[in-house]
């Protein structure tokens, strides 16, 4: 590893946009493939390598394959444990994982046991002394419609109350070309009213203007992507004004957007627009397994593409702490960690 990469690796980081099944590493994928050889799935079918790009539709085909490989409580526990440890090795000090609870009739997996398996993995890592604070967001897959969204919120509510602060909120994700946010509003409003935080994928593709307006009125606590919100991308100034007025942080996933072809190149990424506005932006991975990246690499790409100095990179990672869903005490602990690490890293 060269000196430059070492800096990004050592940089303490916060990750708030990581889909569990999109984050499964090559090593873990090998384990899963060995457990289920009859599926005939090969590692190269579940990841998009260096220099490769796919359409977003093709990315969603990849998730279908991964879901076949991860369909028991044991699988969920394995992937959650491995993903948490990998983020910890990458010096991520605080992680919000998100995942869509799935039921699998064949294996007896239920949505409830799915969430329990993730929570057990988080607790086990904590018990084992893995140096990372992990929380969980329960994901709504937009394609499943009104009723499933409402059930998911109820499940999240239950776990928010019983998980000792591990379940903090709701993620809205899934294929952006399917379904409409309008149908999901009652569930999202319920979530907000019962104290669940909201991180919503918004304007990941163009032509979602009307939906974005609707969702922004909630308003969400964070926005995933927001690629097409601003006027230069076919969005609108009132949308930008609304995001700025409510100071809603953007979760920025550079490689995901470039490899998924919603953004033409790193240098044309909307991070530039929002960063120049001074708006809170959090660098994230989205799906580190599928897109073959890690958070250190994403910070390094942001720095090299947008000419950020080491001080600016440090500030970016430190300010991410303000955008987490955990409460003030956790933020203070993290800030303390950043303060302790800084002198050894920035001379
Ligand atoms: C690339 N951009 C993206 N846009 C929208 N949703 C995405 C996504 N990447 C991942 N997901 C969502 O996360 C699920 C996989 O993890 P889990 O099974 O939930 O852990 C996908 O099925 C999709 O719903
Ligand atoms: Zn995402």
ipTM of predicted complex: 1.00
The structure tokens listed for 231 are: 């006027």
What integer pLDDT is reported at residue 270 of this predicted model? 98
Count CB neighbours of 32 within 10 A. Answer: 22
Report whether residue 137 contacts ligand 1, using a CB cutoff of 6 Å. Answer: no
- What are the residues whose beta carbon lies below 5 Å from ligand 2 (ion)? 286
What integer pLDDT is reported at residue 229 of this predicted model? 97
- Tell me the CA–centroid distance for residue 347 and ligand 2, in Å: 35
Atom of ligand 1 nearest to the CA of 201: 5
Averaged confidence pLDDT in the chain:
97
pLDDT tens track for 42-60 = 988 999 998 899 999 999 9
Atom of ligand 1 nearest to the CA of 63: 22
What integer pLDDT is reported at residue 219 of this predicted model? 97
Task: Return the active site residues.
Answer: 204
What's the DSSP call for residue 249?
P
Report whether residue 204 contacts ligand 1, using a CB cutoff of 6 Å. Answer: yes
Nearest CA to ligand 1 atom 23: 174
Q: How far apart are CA 305 and CA 220, in angstroms?
A: 29
Report whether residue 227 contacts ligand 1, using a CB cutoff of 6 Å. Answer: no
Q: Over 80: is that where the pLDDT of 1 sits?
A: no
Residues found in the chain:
347
| DSSP output for 10-48 | HS-EEEEEEEGGGS--HHHHHHHHHH-GGG---GGGS--
Q: How far apart are CA 42 and CA 287, in angstroms?
A: 18
- Tell me the CA–centroid distance for residue 331 and ligand 1, in Å: 27
Report whether residue 259 contacts ligand 1, using a CB cutoff of 6 Å. Answer: no
């Amino acid at each position: 590893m060269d000196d430059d990469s070492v800096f990004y690796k050592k940089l303490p980081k916060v990750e708030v946009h990581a889909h569990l099944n999109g984050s499964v590493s090559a090593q873990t994928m090998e384990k899963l493939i060995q457990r289920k050889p009859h599926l005939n799935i090969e590692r190269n079918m579940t990841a998009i390598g260096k220099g490769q790009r796919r359409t977003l539709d093709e990315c969603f085909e990849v998730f279908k394959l991964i879901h076949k490989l991860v369909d028991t409580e044991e699988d969920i526990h394995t992937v959650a444990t491995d993903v948490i440890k990998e983020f910890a090795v990458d010096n991520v000090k605080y992680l919000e994982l998100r995942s869509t609870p799935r039921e699998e009739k064949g294996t007896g997996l239920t949505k409830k046991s799915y969430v329990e398996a993730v929570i057990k993995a988080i607790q086990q890592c904590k018990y084992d002394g893995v140096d990372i604070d992990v929380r969980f967001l329960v994901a709504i897959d937009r394609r499943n419609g009104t009723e499933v969204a409402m059930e998911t919120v109820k499940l999240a509510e239950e776990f928010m109350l019983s998980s000792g602060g591990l379940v903090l909120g709701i993620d809205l994700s899934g294929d952006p070309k399917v379904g409409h946010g309008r149908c999901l509003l009652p569930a999202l409003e319920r979530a907000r009213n019962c104290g669940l935080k909201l991180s919503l994928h918004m304007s990941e593709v163009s032509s979602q203007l009307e939906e974005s307006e609707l969702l922004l009125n909630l308003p969400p606590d964070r926005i995933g992507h927001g690629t097409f919100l601003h006027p230069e991308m076919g969005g609108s100034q009132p949308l930008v004004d609304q995001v700025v007025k409510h100071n809603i942080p953007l979760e920025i996933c550079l490689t995901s957007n470039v490899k998924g072809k919603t953004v033409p190149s790193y240098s044309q990424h909307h991070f530039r627009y929002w960063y120049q506005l001074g708006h809170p932006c959090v660098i994230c991975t989205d799906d580190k397994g599928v897109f073959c990246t890690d958070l250190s690499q994403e910070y390094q790409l942001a720095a090299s593409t947008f000419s950020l100095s080491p001080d600016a990179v440090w500030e970016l990672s430190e300010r991410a702490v303000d955008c987490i869903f955990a409460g003030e005490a956790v933020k203070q602990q993290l800030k303390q960690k950043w303060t302790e690490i800084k002198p050894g890293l920035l001379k």
